[in-house]
């Protein structure tokens, strides 16, 4: 049994906490405010999370593992917890969107103790104390000693956790899927928005740009990856709410840079045009800019 800290008790962090608990581990929830009565509606039934809750980073106990499930834009906030939690050399698994997991946390701890994790799970927060998990939590990590130790944390849980030999391809494939999610956030509509012919074409263009950059970064993706992803998105529940849409509805910051900005930035690096992603970013920034 390990002592595992979860930093960021949002939708993903809540499900992770429930899974670790089901695996028999001691869970520490690191949050801004007290967490009481947290329940995850999993596919197999409700799981009431029983965990130690810490709201002061200065009081954080040393643990065996740190799992960071904050949004990608809140790295500085998450890093405040690391000195106490990692006092005995704990590894840090970064469960965030995008492809720059190690780069974000490299300023705060040795790179060899940072494990990037691809997370794929349809989950939505229903209230401050309730989370709805619509499907299996998939976790993919690079092969190696750290990756193996991480997957063992979930050995006794319903999670699908595995090491992969080509993490670059896996994480970029997920970003291809996430990239078109900006359309839901822009239009303030759930996942079914891409079922229309016109917006489906826009989504295809966004995904194709991401795939082109992914290949330049070394990812191996099928030629028709954009069509495959669009079909999967159209087959998903039409009322599904991705995290960007949820954040915009709630007036919170969004992971625009981690999900679309990185495509534009790395596109420039490889001289690959990404006009659709650039336009999506410009529109979102204009729509959410503070009134002057």
pTM of the model: 0.92
Average pLDDT over residues 245-261: 95
Strand, coil or helix: 52: strand
Q: Within a 10 A sphere around the Cβ of 244, how many other Cβ atoms?
A: 25
Every domain of the chain and the residues it spans: 3-164, 169-288
Gap between the Cα atoms of 168 and 187, Å rounded: 31
> pLDDT value at position 241?
86
Check whether 177 has a pLDDT greater than 90.
yes
Cα within 13 Å of Cα(101), Cβ side = 26
Residue with the two structure tokens 């999967």: 232
Model confidence band, residue 99 (pLDDT cutoffs 50, 70, 90)? very high
Check whether 291 has a pLDDT greater than 90.
no
Contacts 24+ apart (CB under 8 A), 132-137: 132/41, 133/15, 133/40, 133/41, 133/42, 133/43, 134/43, 134/237, 134/240, 135/43, 136/43, 136/160, 137/15, 137/16, 137/19
pLDDT digits (tens, 9 = 90+) for 60-92: 999 999 999 999 999 999 999 999 999 999 999
Query: What's the topology of domain 169-288?
Result: 1.10.1040
pLDDT digits (tens, 9 = 90+) for 205-228: 999 999 999 999 999 999 999 999
> pLDDT value at position 126?
87
Average pLDDT over residues 189-208: 96
> pLDDT value at position 124?
86
> pLDDT value at position 231?
95
> pLDDT value at position 174?
96
The DSSP output letter for 96 is -
Pair 259, 244: CB distance under 8 Å? yes
Average pLDDT over residues 4-27: 96
| C-alpha Rg value of the chain to the nearest Å | 19
Percent of the chain with pLDDT over 90: 89
CA angle 72, 230, 242 (to 5 degrees): 35
Percent of the chain with pLDDT over 70: 100
Check whether 292 has a pLDDT greater than 90.
no
As annotated, the active-site residues are: 174
Helices 225-235, 167-179: axis angle to 10 degrees equals 60
pLDDT digits (tens, 9 = 90+) for 108-165: 999 999 999 999 999 888 888 899 999 999 999 999 999 999 999 999 899 999 999 9
> What class is the 3-164 domain?
alpha beta
> pLDDT value at position 201?
97
Q: What is the mean pLDDT of the chain?
A: 95
Check whether 48 has a pLDDT greater than 80.
yes
């Amino acid at each position: 049994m390990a002592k595992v800290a979860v930093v960021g008790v949002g939708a993903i962090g809540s499900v992770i906490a429930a899974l670790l608990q089901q695996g028999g581990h001691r869970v520490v929830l690191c949050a801004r405010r007290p967490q009481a009565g947290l329940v995850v509606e999993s596919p197999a039934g409700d799981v009431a999370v029983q965990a130690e809750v810490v709201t002061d980073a200065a009081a954080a106990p040393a643990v065996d593992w740190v799992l960071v499930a904050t949004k990608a834009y809140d790295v500085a906030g998450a890093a405040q917890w690391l000195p106490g939690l990692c006092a005995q050399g704990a590894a840090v698994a970064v469960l965030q969107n995008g492809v720059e997991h190690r780069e974000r946390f490299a300023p705060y701890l040795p790179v060899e103790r940072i494990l990037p994790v691809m997370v794929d799970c349809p989950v939505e927060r229903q209230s401050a104390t309730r989370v709805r998990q619509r499907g299996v939590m998939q976790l993919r990590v690079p092969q190696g000693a750290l990756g193996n130790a991480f997957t063992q944390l979930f050995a006794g849980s319903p999670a699908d956790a595995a090491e992969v030999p080509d993490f670059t391809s896996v994480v970029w494939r997920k970003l291809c899927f996430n990239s078109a999610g900006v359309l839901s956030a822009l239009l303030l509509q759930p996942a079914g928005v891409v079922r229309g012919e016109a917006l489906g074409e826009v989504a295809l263009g966004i995904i194709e740009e991401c795939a082109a950059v992914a290949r330049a970064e070394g990812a191996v993706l099928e030629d028709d990856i954009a069509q495959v992803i669009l079909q999967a998105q159209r087959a998903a529940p039409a009322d599904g709410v991705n995290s960007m849409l949820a954040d915009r509805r709630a007036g919170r910051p969004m992971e625009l840079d981690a999900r679309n900005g990185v495509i534009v930035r790395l596109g420039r690096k490889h001289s690959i045009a990404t006009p659709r992603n650039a336009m999506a970013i410009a529109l979102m920034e204009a729509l959410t800019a503070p009134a002057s």
